[in-house]
Structure 1
Amino acid sequence: MTTQQQPSVAEAIGRMVRDHPDRPALESARGVISYRDLGERIDKFTAQLDVLTAPGEFVGIEAVRTPGSIVAMAGALRAGRPFVFLDPRDSVASNRTKVTSLGVRMVAATPDGSDEPQLVVAREEWRGAEEPSGIPAGLDTAADQGGIGYAIHTSGSTGEPKCVLVRVGPLAPMIRDHVRVLEVGADTRTLQFARLTFDGCITEILWTLTGGGCLVVLDETQLGPGPVLGGTLERYGITHLKTTPFALTATEPTEAMRLRHVINGGGACRQAVVQKWSARAAFHNAYGTTETTVCNFLTGVLDPAECTESVPLGDVVGDCGYEVVPLPAETGDGTTATTGLRGELVITGESVAVGYLTARGLRRFADRDGNRVYRTGDIVELRDGQLHFVERLDRQLKVRGYRIDPGEVEIAACRLPNVVEAVVTAEAHEEQEAGADALVCYYQGTATAREVRAHLEGVLDTYKVPSVIQQIETVPYTRNGKVDRDALRASRTRPAAPAAATPDEQVLALVRRLTGVDDVSLDDNFFDVGGDSASAVILVNKLKELGWMDAGVRDVLRADRLRTLTDELRDRSV
């Protein structure tokens, strides 16, 4: 069947209301709402929309964790009113931008956690000087106005807020594939984990309500990664969970959990996470972009034994197509060569969103022939018929003349059994230096820095092995769930030499500072522990500061051990 002949997500929810009225549909701290009750609440809200808004008009939904917000979303989909979630905790300026650009007049509010949303006039501080029109500026085609399901705002990797208009039609086949793969049914209990302003919430809400399961909606205080989330999963008997790499790393599965399907989403999936959660439930990896219909790829049940190298993105879901556009690979001498199996992932087909709504109008995701196309900016590899995520294009690094995909190094580090997560950055060896002359690997796990280095030297080209390898307790994340690389750089330890240290001790402290290896001894070779050409120059300059004025890079290169270097320099100064 074509997308037009298949039931929409709103119709699928309506079918569950008719066929299974007594099943629990929503559960919160206030109690349980059956599918019959859900249908009645959707009917009431749809009636409000019919009276107070026009077809194609955007409505706001306050992004608070209540059953009322879920009812408002389902009602908007049934009434053909595109929606946008507005989080009262976000800045006034942010919400004003959303309201004014989309022409939002009315907002669904759920005061005091009500289960029944009420349409009210948008807050005065969110409205601009002009009266909202109800129709987004620059959106003037009837086809677009009737086909949009929601707007989602993303800053992506640029930091500049962008408004994506997503079509409603492709939601249905994408959600049906989730219902099938995740075996959603009457005994499904899905935890509504994602913030409502993140499009990840769309899949977990809709696969549950179109599949006849129960969506558990709780306050964020019960969702904190770690023991809090673990307790919630046990207490509410959650069977289906889609969450982030951070939450999966920080939370430990227990025998008291009733989980049947766990899905990694919103970031690269690591091998250790697959290993840990597969012992408790069927584990899946998912991939999608905000500029498409939420999710593009979803794996079947992953076998940890087949995920030792990296974790695949999965099979296509919904009306999605893709291409891998080869990228020129820069080599050390400045020449380029086509990588073949590695390239930028380009999403094609019906799942591609309408485009970005900008102050200058609608910027469509289409090629010159009008075909729906979105270049993701993600580098992937096609191996054995499976796509594997490598890195963001805009995160490629250039260190010492080589272009490096940090994701490739991170994946390689995570192949070591005792490494849970790894993040690679380019930084200066010394804080006072300009530029980035060192590849730095921060890792979480019980392996030592020496073990990580030895492992990487065995699986990577020499120029890709980080100069500095530093163990950390946890990986810091931003509010948007992205790795906080600025916080990592700020946390990098650069031990200073003891005030009354001997020359040998000062040299050891300096080498530890340059490499991140905290147990360096005089019997170590400088380059074996992470020294490179750039750090060798710094080492020589520091040796001169210690009084060895005739020290040179050649001395460092020739010394088989640090002891040999310091003994030779000490002999010269006698």
Structure 2
Amino acid sequence: MLDGMDRAVREFPDNEALRTPRSVMTYRELGARTDAFADRLGRTTRPDEWVALLGTRGAAAIVALVGALKARRPFVFVDERDSDASNAAKTGLLGVRLLARGTGDDGHVDLTGLPDRWRATPGATRQEPDGTADDRPPPRQLPFPDSEIGYAIHTSGSTGTPKCVLVRAAPLAPVIRDHVTRLSVGPGSRTLQFARLTFDGCLTEILWTLTAGACLVVVDEERLAPGPVLQDTLERFGITHLKTTPFALTVTEPTDAMRLEHVVNGGGPCRPATVRTWSKAASFHNAYGLTETTVCNLLSDALDPDDCRDAVPLGEPVGDCAYVLRDVDTGATGSGVRRGELVVTGASVAAGYLTERGVEPLRGPEGTGGHATGDVVELRDGRLCYVERLDRQVKVRGYRLDPGEIETAVCRHPDVREAVVVPEAHTDGDAAATDTLVGYYQGTADPRTLRRHLDGLLDPYKIPSVLERVDVFPSTPNGKIDRDALRARRHARAPEDAPDRPDDQVLRLVRTLTGVKDARLDDNFFELGGDSASAVVLVTGMKKLGWTDAGVRDVLRADTLRDLADRLRERSV
């Protein structure tokens, strides 16, 4: 990998290596700056000493990253947008005393002491052997040879407490090499650096570019907002290679003014509609990987939309890794397992989690020697497809369900772009009472049509009771769909004035419960998605409107909503 960067400097010295909105750096200039920083870092630090790199977008952060790799010093990115407590926890655990940071667009990197606010014990000092005082923390003794660990990345914490993952340097090289080959990266390519530097996805973007003599485009965060803003950035900078999230790909449309050649979906499940949309503009790929398994483990060749109507394959292995499937119920890992938890094996598996107690090695199921990912996948026609995370499995009305399986079925409809299925309570009184499934989706499909579509694909108990169309999904800071915000937004809607007529009152209750905004009096409540649980809620709503003797039996016996309204009207006379 380092050889690739040095070769790019030798063979393409005058080519653009790094472009920002305000500056351009050639490979000759990049080589000089990274060599100078690597030399300084090597003279200033011990071989096993960690250095923090400030994750502010710009030329300096890229120079610092490459320089740390050249100096063979382990590094961790910190971000000023994160809390001081979070950054102090990161640097304190690793024993960091120095921070690499730069200002401006010239790529100059300063190596300074860690700010007090990011120290676990501000102001603490200790005595060096020569009697001088040093405020750095004691060196963290790790059970690895010098230069074996390349960097630390902290997990997002979306499935629990963030963990500090120690990643070896050597397995990164074959991962990058395979990306360069499969994505045809070369001197004429221009990659948009999209991922935040505290997320390990940035490493593939940066390194597949700089080892191939291509140009890395680094813009301010504001220029990466999914939608029209990202559209403009892709056009303005002539981006040919883009790796981004499913959310960004769903809300951004390709245009004729773009120069895209390869687009990669990463960080979440890919939908058939996304393949259809973006494969018209470029070769479209799906990717899969984890922080614990060196960024990326699976990368597809260019996908054919016609082959992705039912599900989008995750791809074939990249780098030095393999995988096995572990049956969730039996624990079996033999060749006969077609659906189960994905276990990544091979050298790409990280060295372990670093805790206050020391290093905890990653362990897969007995006999695998790998990392159990927590992701359920299945083989379909010899291709590996994503199903769901184990910790997202839910139990609704006595049935154990995989929301991801249902989302995939929803997205098989040609007029659905994205879908999220979440368990919810029919009312906001008890958040723990998840008595129904709500399917939120983006697209032009009508809820009625979509329900008929699901009738042919899923068992009845798997079909969401509520199918609700949304214009744009809310997102988290790392570009994933915010499921909690979806739930909160649905329950926080301001109530409309209660209609006077029984017909309208019944329709309003049913539309709220099923998500079918055009529910009509001639509709059957259960054909709209109603079930036993929502029937109880419907009756409760009718009682609040004054029909105190309304019961579930009324709902069950009514062939249509008109019949139900007529009964209420008769009782109100």
Band of TM-score, shorter chain: over 0.9
CA drift at 1:66? 1.4
3-state SS, counterpart of residue 328 of structure 2: strand
1:221-269 Cα offsets, whole Å, 9 max, x none, are: 2222111111111111111111111111121111111110011111111
Instruction: Return the alpha-carbon distance in structure 1 between the equivalents of residues 425 and 363 of structure 2.
Output: 40
Q: 1:22 to 1:114 in 2, by over 3 A?
A: closer
- The amino acid that maps onto 1:281 is A
CA drift at 1:391? 1.1
- The amino acid that maps onto 2:509 is L
- The amino acid that maps onto 1:519 is D
3-state SS, counterpart of residue 291 of structure 1: helix
Alignment partner, residue 3 of structure 1: none
Residue 453 of structure 1, aligned match among 451, 465, 473: 451
Alignment partner, residue 440 of structure 1: 438
CA contact under 8 A between 2:343 and 2:364: conserved in structure 1? no
Instruction: Return the alpha-carbon distance in structure 2 between the equivalents of residues 532 and 72 of structure 1.
Output: 58
- The amino acid that maps onto 1:273 is T
CA contact under 8 A between 2:325 and 2:343: conserved in structure 1? yes
CA drift at 1:525? 0.4
Q: What TM-score do the two structures reach when normalised by structure 2?
A: 0.92
Alignment map for 1:238-317 (pairs within 5 Å): 238-317=239-318
Alignment partner, residue 398 of structure 1: 395
Alignment map for 1:474-489 (pairs within 5 Å): 474-489=472-487
Instruction: Return the alpha-carbon distance in structure 1 between the equivalents of residues 327 and 283 of structure 2.
Output: 33
1:135-191 Cα offsets, whole Å, 9 max, x none, are: 43xx43243x43111101113333412111111000011111000000011111111
Instruction: Return the alpha-carbon distance in structure 2 between the equivalents of residues 190 and 44 of structure 1.
Output: 25
Q: 1:210 to 1:568 in 2, by over 3 A?
A: same
- Is 1:354 the equivalent of 2:351? yes
Alignment partner, residue 381 of structure 1: 378
CA drift at 1:555? 3.1
Alignment map for 1:72-471 (pairs within 5 Å): 72-129=64-121, 130=124, 131-133=135-137, 135-136=139-140, 139-143=141-145, 145-328=146-329, 340-366=337-363, 372-433=369-430, 435-471=433-469
Deviates more, 1:420-429 or 1:149-158: 149-158
Alignment partner, residue 39 of structure 1: 31
Q: How many residues align?
A: 554
3-state SS, counterpart of residue 50 of structure 1: helix
CA drift at 1:68? 1.7
CA contact under 8 A between 2:498 and 2:505: conserved in structure 1? no
Instruction: Return the alpha-carbon distance in structure 2 between the equivalents of residues 546 and 244 of structure 1.
Output: 45
Q: Which runs of 5+ in 2 are unaligned?
A: 125-134, 331-335
CA contact under 8 A between 1:345 and 1:375: conserved in structure 2? yes
CA contact under 8 A between 1:25 and 1:33: conserved in structure 2? yes
Alignment partner, residue 499 of structure 1: 498
Alignment partner, residue 5 of structure 2: 13
- Is 1:24 the equivalent of 2:16? yes
Instruction: Return the alpha-carbon distance in structure 2 between the equivalents of residues 52 and 166 of structure 1.
Output: 23
CA contact under 8 A between 1:449 and 1:517: conserved in structure 2? yes
Q: 1:60 to 1:498 in 2, by over 3 A?
A: closer
Instruction: Return the alpha-carbon distance in structure 2 between the equivalents of residues 433 and 108 of structure 1.
Output: 49
CA contact under 8 A between 1:66 and 1:114: conserved in structure 2? no
Instruction: Return the alpha-carbon distance in structure 2 between the equivalents of residues 165 and 284 of structure 1.
Output: 28
- The amino acid that maps onto 1:523 is D
Deviates more, 1:441-450 or 1:152-161: 152-161
- The amino acid that maps onto 2:252 is T
CA contact under 8 A between 1:225 and 1:251: conserved in structure 2? yes
Deviates more, 1:179-188 or 1:369-378: 369-378
Q: What is the root-mean-square deviation in Å for CA atoms of aligned residues?
A: 2.1
3-state SS, counterpart of residue 492 of structure 1: helix
Instruction: Return the alpha-carbon distance in structure 2 between the equivalents of residues 17 and 433 of structure 1.
Output: 61
Instruction: Return the alpha-carbon distance in structure 1 between the equivalents of residues 138 and 28 of structure 2.
Output: 32
Q: 1:11 to 1:524 in 2, by over 3 A?
A: same
Instruction: Return the alpha-carbon distance in structure 1 between the equivalents of residues 546 and 29 of structure 2.
Output: 82
3-state SS, counterpart of residue 166 of structure 2: strand
Alignment partner, residue 6 of structure 1: none
Instruction: Return the alpha-carbon distance in structure 1 between the equivalents of residues 554 and 499 of structure 2.
Output: 26
CA contact under 8 A between 1:11 and 1:78: conserved in structure 2? no
- The amino acid that maps onto 1:472 is V
Q: 1:56 to 1:560 in 2, by over 3 A?
A: same
- The amino acid that maps onto 2:461 is Y
Instruction: Return the alpha-carbon distance in structure 1 between the equivalents of residues 110 and 544 of structure 2.
Output: 72
- The amino acid that maps onto 1:528 is E
1:512-553 Cα offsets, whole Å, 9 max, x none, are: 121111111221101000110111122233444555555433
- The amino acid that maps onto 1:469 is L
- The amino acid that maps onto 1:209 is L
